[in-house]
Amino acid sequence: MTINWYPGHMVKAKREIQQNIKLVDIVAILLDARAPFSCRNQDLEDMSRRKRMLFVLNKMDLADPEATKGYLDRLRQEGMTAVSTDSTSGKGLNDTIKALKSLFQPQAEEMVRKGRRVRPMRVMVVGVPNIGKSTFLNSMVGRKMAVTGAKPGITRGKQWVRVREDIELMDTPGLMWPKVDNEEQGLKLALLSIVGENAYQEQAVALYLLEVLKSRAPELLRDKLKIDDGHRPAGELLEQVARQRGHLLKGGQLDLGKTCTSLLQDFRKGKLGRLSLD
């Protein structure tokens, strides 16, 4: 599945980030903990290469804990500073703040050496659409300050937010790269709701989800979807879920469209259990 989804506001978002990145000390790159490598935007990393970077695996509560540990180890082996967090509950935010302070420490020491007052660190928060930047900012600040929503691209414009006395955060719009050529990566991005719903077919993504459950988490297939014989083709499993949920059209035909929508919603809300994709 090739995804070519690059609305006009993405061009504006990229230009805005390029213009403002010179104002900050650190760039916090948010990734979805369920598939952090599939949602890494190389454009963002290239723009941030002259800044200190912190990779934040957000939505850790929805991901497999062991997989998250492996993802963090892999990033750290690349020489990156990386933490994981659940912005909704606030878990992991202390680790995030500690990591930011550690990254800023050399710059703070340089200010002291030059006899200057140590100002608050300036951090730009970036990531692909619907990665949870606004929820992350709200959690860091401890109050609701940024518009949040379930659809990609809802954040507009630049916002500076003071976190206590030592951190200032700049929010930015989500930035997607122009084209996703890798089919499995495209399915993952669609499953995570990173690309807009007009860019993919729900049934293809739902079938991919069932294949992932079959191969990686058959216990979730059994416990959450009540499917004991998970070796059958994904199409047959989808029909079984439709029958179990009573998704029927007039005349008794299965409403597979409704089933696909409900399956994707259940995964995105964590109702199918903690599942990682990378």
Domain boundaries for CATH 3.40.50.300 within the chain: 8-171
3-state class (DSSP) for residue 123: strand
User: Which residues, other chains included, contact 171 with Cβ-Cβ below 8 Å and sequence gap of 6+?
Assistant: 125, 133, 134, 137, 146, 155, 158, 159, 161
Give mean pLDDT, residues 60-75. Answer: 97
What is the structure's pLDDT at 199? 82
Q: What is the CATH number of domain 201-268?
A: 1.10.1580.10
Render pLDDT for 264-278 as a digit per residue (tens, 0 to 9): 999 999 999 999 999
Are the CB atoms for 218 and 230 separated by under 8 Å? yes
Helix (H) or strand (E) holding 256: helix 256-268
* DSSP string over 19-54: HHGGG-SEEEEEEETTSTTTT--HHHHHHTTTSEEE
Q: What angle do CA 134, 135, 140 make, to 5 degrees?
A: 95
Tokens of residue 229, six digits: 């014989």
Domain boundaries for CATH 1.10.1580.10 within the chain: 201-268
Q: What is the CATH number of domain 8-171?
A: 3.40.50.300
Render pLDDT for 102-148 as a digit per residue (tens, 0 to 9): 999 999 999 999 999 999 999 999 999 999 998 998 888 876 554 43
Binned at pLDDT 50, 70 and 90, residue 152 comes out as very low
